[in-house]
Amino acid sequence: MSSSHTVTVSMDVEAGQKNKDKKGISQDLILAYKTLGVVFGGLVTSPLYVYPSMNLTNPTEEDYLGIYSIMFWTLTLIGVVKYICIALNADDHGEGGTFAMYSLLCQHANIGILPSKKIYTEEENLISNQPVVAGRPGRLRRFIESSIIARRLLLLTAILGMCMLIGDGILTPAISVLSAIDGLRGPFPSVSKPAVEGLSAAILVGLFLLQKYGTSKVSFMFSPIMAAWTFATPVIGVYSIWRYYPGIFKAMSPHYIVRFFMTNQTRGWQLLGGTVLCITGAEAMFADLGHFSKRSIQIAFMSSIYPSLVLTYAGQTAYLINNVDDFSDGFYKFVPRPVYWPMFIIATLAAIVASQSLISATFSVIKQSVVLDYFPRVKVVHTSKDKEGEVYSPETNYMLMLLCVGVILGFGDGKDIGNAFGVVVILVMLITTILLTLVMLIIWGTHVVLVALYLVPFLLLEATYVSAVCTKILRGGWVPFAVSVALAAVMFGWYYGRQRKTEYEVANKVTLERLGELLSGPGVRRVPGLCFFYSNRQDGGWLTPVLAHYIRNMRSLHEVTVFLTLRYLLVAKVDGKDRVQAVRRLGPAGVYGCTIQYGYADAIDFEEDDIAGQVVGALRERVVDGEEEGERVEAARAAGVVHVRGKMRFHVGKDTRLFDRVLLGFYELLHGACRSALPALGIPLQQRVEIGMLYKA
C-alpha cells in the first residue's frame, strides 16, 4: 500500500512538471510571436536603408560579394553569438540594457557612486540595502573599488550607453518610416521630398499617441504586420537569388571580406559606416528584455529574424550584382513589379512597427535610471499587471516624438540620418561589450582565457566599425552626440546633486539619542494626534536631518509619530496583510518606524483611513506593549491624523564655489521640475504638510 501510494505521488509530481513545462513552452511561443511587434522591428526592417545609406562608386560584383560577406558575419557574430548566446544572460531581475548591467555590477561589488535603490524580490527579507558581494574579490574588482576615477569612468560609460540608446530611439523611427514612405517616389516621381517628410512625421505622431495603451496591446496589433514582413522579404529574396545570382551564398566565405578590403582599402573601410546598419536594433533584444523573456527572444531571433535577414540581404545583393547602379534604392528596386504595392504597404506598416522596438527600449532604460536614482523623476506607468518590465513614460514619449519629427524635418535625406544612425548603433554595442566583459570577470567568474576569446574579436570588430562611422560625424553623425551630451549633462547634474544630498544626510543624520535630546529640549511639547512622517530612504534611515529641522522650528512632535518608508517590490501586487512591515519602536515614547511595501501594479492611492488603520493595527499587533500604550495610539488617531513630508533644497549662495554653483543650481532646476520622490497616496490635502529645508551648498 505504501509503495503504491509513493508511485502515485511520484506520477502526479511528474505529470504536474510536464504540464508546467508545456505551459512554459506555450507561453514562450506566444511571447516569441509578440516580440516580432516590439523587439525586432528595427533589426528586421534594416534592408530598407542599408544599401541606400552606402556611398558606393562604380561597384563591381566582387564589391557586392564582399559587402554581403561583411553583413552576414556581422549578423552572425554580433546578433547570434554576442546577444543571443551571451548578453541575454546578463540581466538584472529580468531587466536588460547597459544600465541594468551597471546595476548588476553595483550589487556584486562596492563600485557604485551612489547607494542605489535596492529592488527587492518577493523572497527577500527587509534587510539593509548593501551590495551582494560574494567570494574573494579579484584584482580587477579590487582596483575598481579602490579607484574613484575608475568608478566614475564606469558610471560615465553606463550613462553614455543609455544616452546613445535613447538616441537610437530617436533615429530608428525617423529613418525607418522615411525610408519606407520614400517608396512612393518610384512609381510617382512627382511626389516631392517635403511631402514624404510631412507624411512620415504624421505617421510617427500617430505611433507615439498609441504608446499609452501599453506594449502588450501594441505588440498584439503589430505582430501580424511584422510576421508578414519577416516572411515576405525572404521569399522575395529567394526569388531574386534564383533569378539573378544563384551562387550568392559563396560569399559566406570570409575570404571575400579580405579580398574586398585588399581591393578597396580606404574606401572599403569607409563603407563599413553603411554595412553596420545591418545590425541596427540588435541592442533592443537586450534592452527590451524586461518586456518579454530571454527564451522568447532567442526563439524568435533564431527561428525567423536571423534566417529572414540572411535571405533578404542575399536577394538584394543578387539583384544588385546584375543591376550595379541601383543601390540608392536597393530595396524597392529588387521587389518584383507585380508585388510592388503590397510590399510598399507592408514595408510602411513594418517601418512603423520598427519604431516600436526602440521606443519600448527607451521607456525601459529611463525607468531603470529613475528607480536607481540616476535620472530626474518622471512618471512611469506599468501598463501590464503580469509583466513588471512593461512600462510607459508620458514625458519621455512626447519628448521622443518631438525629437523624431525634428530629425525628419531637419534632415529629410535618409542618407544623412543613416550617417547619424551608424554612430549610435555601434557605440552602444561597444559599450555593451565592455560592460559585459566586466560582468563575466566580476560576477560570473569566467576564466580569463574564455573572456579573452570573447573580448578580443568583438573589440576589434566593433572598434573598426567605430573608426569608420566617426568619419561621418560632420555629415549628420553629430546629432546623436548632441542628444547624448544633453542627456548626460542632465544625468550628471542629477547624480551630483543626489550625491551631495546623500553626503549631507549621512553627516547630519538624527540618531535615536539625538532625537531624545531634541524632544527633551526647553519648550518642545508632544501635541495630540497621529503623525506619519515620510521618508524615501531605503536603508532604514528613517530619521533624516529634516526631522531635527522640524522639531527645532515647530517646537513640537505629535504624541504618536510613525516614520514611514515606502518600498518598491519586484512583484505585481502586495497582499494587504503584507503591506506594513518592519514595524518597531524607535526609542522615545510614541515614536515608531515601519515600511509600507507596494508592487509595480499597485495603485499607490491608499485611502487615508486604510493606511492609518493598517499601520495602527500593525503597531498594536506587533509592537504595542500593554493596554495603556494601545489606548494612547488609538486616542492619537482619534485626535487627528497628519501626513508630513520633507522637501530639502540646496541654498546656493555667493560664497559657493563656481563648480557647485553651476551644478547644484542645475540640480535645483531639475529638482523643481521633476515629480515628487514619494507618490501621491490619495490623502486629503488638508491633512498634508510639507516641511521645507535648505542645505547650505
Identify whether 43 is part of a domain: yes
| pLDDT tens, position by position, 650-672 | 888 788 888 888 888 888 888 87
Residue at 389: amino acid letter: G
- What is the rounded CA–CA span in Å between residue 575 and residue 122? 11
Q: What does the mean pLDDT of the chain come to?
A: 80
The pLDDT of residue 309 is: 95
Do the Cβ atoms of 70 and 260 come closer than 8 Å? yes
- What is the rounded CA–CA span in Å between residue 592 and residue 586? 5
Q: Specify whether 460 is located in the same domain as 531.
A: no
The pLDDT of residue 20 is: 47
Domain boundary among 412, 440, 469: 469
Residue 387 has pLDDT above 50, yes or no: yes
How crowded is the C-beta side of 378, counted as CA atoms within 13 Å?
24
Residue 8 has pLDDT above 50, yes or no: no
Residue 126 has pLDDT above 60, yes or no: no
- What is the rounded CA–CA span in Å between residue 246 and residue 491? 52
Rounded average pLDDT over 1-28: 53
The pLDDT of residue 316 is: 94
Write the CA distances from 373 to 232, 368, 397, integer angstroms.
44, 9, 20
pTM (predicted TM-score)? 0.74
Residue 608 has pLDDT above 60, yes or no: no
CA 62, distance to chain mean position in Å, is 41
CA 369, distance to chain mean position in Å, is 7
The C-alpha cell 539583384 sits at 319
Identify whether 132 is part of a domain: no
DSSP track, 170-214: HHHHHHHHHHHHGGGGTT-TTS-HHHHHHHHHHHHHHHHHHGGG-
- What is the rounded CA–CA span in Å between residue 678 and residue 563? 13
- CATH number of the CATH domain containing 169: 1.20.1740
Residue at 252: amino acid letter: M
| pLDDT tens, position by position, 334-371 | 899 899 999 999 988 888 877 776 777 778 778 777 77
Do the Cβ atoms of 512 and 685 come closer than 8 Å? no
Identify whether 501 is part of a domain: no
Q: Specify whether 172 is located in the same domain as 289.
A: yes
- What is the rounded CA–CA span in Å between residue 183 and residue 212? 30
Residue 454 has pLDDT above 80, yes or no: yes
Strand 556-568 to 580-585 pairing: unpaired
Confidence tier at 9 by pLDDT (50, 70, 90): very low
Q: Specify whether 448 is located in the same domain as 321.
A: yes
Q: Which residue has the higher pLDDT, 209 or 219?
A: 209
- What is the rounded CA–CA span in Å between residue 182 and residue 344? 10
| pLDDT tens, position by position, 196-208 | 888 988 988 988 8
Which residues in 460-513 belong to E strands, given as ranges?
A: none
Q: Specify whether 569 is located in the same domain as 659.
A: yes
Strand order across the 556-568 sheet: 580-585, 591-598, 556-568, 525-535, 641-651, 688-696
| pLDDT tens, position by position, 406-453 | 888 877 665 666 666 677 778 888 999 999 999 999 888 889 999 999
Domain boundary among 469, 494, 528: 469
Identify whether 488 is part of a domain: no
Domain boundary among 469, 500, 520: 469
Identify whether 145 is part of a domain: no
Count of domains in the chain?
2
Structural domain boundaries enclosing 555? 509-696
> Which set of grid coordinates corresponds to residue 453?
576569446
Q: Which residue has the higher pLDDT, 588 or 135?
A: 588
Q: Specify whether 462 is located in the same domain as 543.
A: no
The C-alpha cell 521607456 sits at 363
Q: Specify whether 253 is located in the same domain as 334.
A: yes
Q: Specify whether 515 is located in the same domain as 414.
A: no
Q: Specify whether 425 is located in the same domain as 568.
A: no
